[in-house]
Amino acid sequence: MKCVRCLQDTAQKVAVAPDGSGAWEVYYCQRCNFSWRSSEEPEVIDPAKRDPWFQLANVDIENLAELVPVPPLSI
Ligand SMILES: [Zn+2]
């Protein structure tokens, strides 16, 4: 599936709600190491609503000069 941060087809489901309710799923991207839960806010899981500064589309991840910062938590 498509990663919400790097927009490549390199993400996969890695966990589901253990009670079988389907309340949430967790996904992980093997390319940019981003992980997210399906029940997070659209500003986290919707590429169209994510802050473009934190996106990694068309970025050469192998040659990043600095670690990518984590956006501040929204409460
Ligand atoms: Zn990614």
The model's pLDDT over 7-36, given as tens digits with 9 standing for 90+, comes to 999 999 999 999 999 999 999 999 999 999
Q: Is the pTM of this model over 0.85?
A: no
Burial class from Cβ neighbours inside 10 Å (0-12, 13-18, 19+) for residue 43 reads exposed
Residue 56 CA to ligand 1 centre (angstroms): 7
The model's pLDDT over 28-73, given as tens digits with 9 standing for 90+, comes to 999 999 999 999 999 999 999 999 999 999 988 888 877 777 888 8
> DSSP letters along 9-68, please?
S-EEEEEE-TTSS-S-EEEEETTT--EEETTS-HHHH-TTTS-GGG--TT--GGG-SSPP
Residue 66 CA to ligand 1 centre (angstroms): 17
Query: Which is more confident, 72 or 5?
Result: 5
Residue 9 CA to ligand 1 centre (angstroms): 8
pLDDT, residue 26, reads 98
Residue 10 CA to ligand 1 centre (angstroms): 6
Residue 51 CA to ligand 1 centre (angstroms): 15
Residue 8 CA to ligand 1 centre (angstroms): 6
pLDDT band at 75 (very low <50, low <70, confident <90, very high): confident
In sequence order, the β-bridge partners of residue 53 are: none
